[in-house]
Amino acid sequence: MSRTFPTEDNIAAIASAIAPGQGAIAIIKVSGPSALETVTNIVEVPGNQKWETHKILYGHVVDKNTGKQIDEVLLLIMKAPRSFTGEDVVELHCHGGLIVVQEVLQQVLNQPNTRRALPGEFSQRAILNGRLDITQAEAINDLISAKSKKAAQLAMAGINGDIAMQINRLRDKLLEQLSEIEARIDFEEDLPPLNIKAMATSLSKIHNELCELINDAKQGSLIHNGLQVALVGLPNVGKSSILNLLSNRERAIVTNLPGTTRDILESEIVLEGIPITLIDTAGIRKTNDEIEKRGIALSQKALIAADIIILIFDISKGWTKNDQKLLNQIPKENQTLILGNKADITIKSTAIKPDVIMSALTGEGEKKMIKKLLTLCGATNIRMLELALNERQLDLVQNAATALKKIEAIAEEKLPWDFWTIDLRDAIYSLGELTGEEITEPLLEKIFSKFCIGK
């Protein structure tokens, strides 16, 4: 089914995470012009409880064909326009699990003019009914998928409308400039001439603000998407020990035998607000062991996929030819941090200067290593970040910034005002598309296809 603008259909979906044996309560959300009628058809409410807005009712979902009670539920009623979607919404709070939730949902879907919601369709209806703008809906999705407290804070800023407020402010300034220019084009003889230099300076300031948003978005991407950090090195240099130290739990078996790790091990951690997936790779060396060969092949793939590589060597033995061979295998475009481990044994003079010297056994040097890692990935001033654009929003801001940059050349060449308006309109349109001022069905399709079904 393709996504369309709102119809007379009711939509329904499970709005909470469900898993066998986990979660005592599950929520099924129904939204639409006859959502209340849909629910009253399947729920029997005892006593004199009134089906009023923003009230909670108690009852049972009943299969009308068999008379069988399916589940005991609480109903939360929210009549239009005081609901998330701006339509009548009813939430059925039933018991968690898999079977009973699906049975209740099926009873809802069996009702006339009621269908399963598409991904993000509740949020889409909220936008089209004026309850949210697009940036707020996207921020809700970001909040749900946040991997750190900082990511959640940035998402809340978007939900509160901070992104839309900032973009609309800049867009309004551009609209003012465009109206000034178009007035001169239409009524040049009746109005005083515009100062080209002043106009260019004003647009340059807006361009600089857009560039700041672009830079912030790059840091925001670190917070939201995180980093893939591969720990690589020869066998028995302490990769698994470092992974265990950073993740604060024994994820990898640590022994004195070389080649213990034969597969990829991963651990997800958060450092200074940045989600990081640590990948402990098999020690890369020549071997006849087929299982170990497979692990080494996976390690070599990890070198290519990682955002940052921590190359670990045994500083008690010094930098060896095999360490150098391994360094040569790392793609040059990858950022690499060279770490000398086992400083608790001894520190041997090496042909290459490590970025960090540490001991995974005692924890010495751990803080310095974390600082170096965060500096290498550009995670500076993360705590100062107040809002961040997602990838779609970033592309549109970059489009707007590029359009304004073209005006600099137009101003230098002293071209007529008509040339200015072309790029100004492009910038205004891009910012309008970001907030939903320029809303189209393909735009909605692109955004909400990434949402979960119940949002």
Residue 120 and residue 69 share a domain? yes
443 or 259: which carries more pLDDT confidence?
443
Is 3 domain-assigned?
no
Could you count the other beta carbons within 10 Å of the beta carbon of residue 376?
A: 17
- pLDDT (0 to 100) of residue 253: 40
CB of 131 closer than 8 Å to CB of 31: no
Whether residue 52 is found in the same domain as residue 116:
yes
Q: What is the pLDDT of residues 296-311, one digit of tens each?
A: 555 566 666 678 899 9
Last residue of a domain, one of 103, 132, 161: 132
pLDDT digits (tens, 9 = 90+) for 181-230: 887 776 666 666 777 888 889 999 999 999 999 988 887 887 888 888 88
Neighbours of 303 (CB within 10 A): 20
Q: How far apart are CA 264 and CA 329, in angstroms?
A: 18
> What confidence tier does 51 reach under pLDDT thresholds 50, 70, 90?
very high
106 against 449, higher pLDDT: 106
Identify whether the C-beta of residue 73 lies closer than 8 Å to the C-beta of residue 59. yes
Q: Is 140 domain-assigned? A: no
> What pLDDT shows up at residue 280?
79
Rounded to 5 degrees, what angle do the CA atoms 121, 54, 99 make? 55
pLDDT, residue 437, reads: 79
CB atoms within 10 A of CB 313: 26
- As a whole number, mean pLDDT of residues 151-171 equals 92
Query: How confident is the model at residue 286, as a pLDDT?
Result: 55
pLDDT at res. 102: 92
Tell me how many domains the chain contains: 3
- Residue where one domain finishes, among candidates 350, 383, 416: 383
Pinpoint the alpha helices (H) of 60-148: 99-109, 121-128, 134-144
Domain that holds residue 278: 229-383
Q: Is the pLDDT of residue 252 over 80?
A: no
The pLDDT tens digits of the residues spanning 88-131 come to: 999 999 998 888 999 999 999 999 999 999 888 898 899 888 89
Cα 31 to Cα 131: distance, rounded to the nearest angstrom: 14
For 171-280, strand residue ranges (E) read 227-233, 265-271, 274-280
Over 70: is that where the pLDDT of 322 sits? yes
Does residue 323 form part of some domain?
yes
Angle at 394 between CA 332 and CA 425, to 5 degrees: 130
Query: 400 and 367 in one domain?
Result: no
Q: Give the confidence band of 255 by pLDDT, cuts at 50, 70, 90.
A: very low
Whether 364 and 398 map to the same domain: the answer is no
pLDDT exceeds 70 at position 445: no
What is the reported pLDDT for 287? 52
Domain membership flag for residue 102: yes
Instruction: Let me know if residue 53 belongs to a domain.
Output: yes
Segment 288-301 mean pLDDT: 55
Q: Which of 99, 132, 165 is the last residue of a domain?
A: 132
Exposure letters 231-249 (e unless 16+ CB within 10 A, then b): bbbbbbbbbbbbbbbbbee
Same domain, 215 and 233: no
Averaged pLDDT score across all residues of the chain: 83
**Per-residue pLDDT for 2 more than 50?**
no
pLDDT given at position 429? 93
Does one domain contain both 261 and 365? Answer: yes
CB crowding 405-420: b at 16 or more within 10 Å, else e: bbbeebbeeeeebebb
At 197 the pLDDT is 84
Which pLDDT score, from 0 to 100, does residue 171 have? 94
Question: SS3 for 248?
Answer: coil
Q: Residue range 311-331: average pLDDT?
A: 90
**Domain contains 453:** no
Please give the share of the chain, as a percent, with pLDDT higher than 70. Answer: 82
| Residues 372, 251 within the same domain | yes
In a domain? residue 327:
yes
Q: Tell me, yes or no, whether 51 and 179 share the same domain.
A: no
CATH code of residue 236: 3.40.50.300
CATH of the domain at 415: 1.20.120.430
On whether both 362 and 419 belong to a single domain, the answer is no
pLDDT value at residue 454: 59
pTM over 0.85: no
Residues 25 and 94 in one domain: yes
Taking residues 382-388, what's their average pLDDT?
Answer: 75
First to last CA, the chain: 17
Do 29 and 66 have their domain in common?
A: yes
Sequential DSSP letters for 326-392? HHHHS-TTSEEEEEEE-TTT-----SS--SEE--TTT-TTHHHHHHHHHHHTT--SGGG------HH
Task: Give, for 94, the enclosing helix (H) or strand (E).
Answer: strand 89-95
CATH number at residue 108: 3.30.1360.120
Domain membership of residue 91 (yes or no) is yes
Q: Of 250, 254, 242, whose CA–CA distance to 369 is shortest?
A: 242
395 & 344 share domain:
no
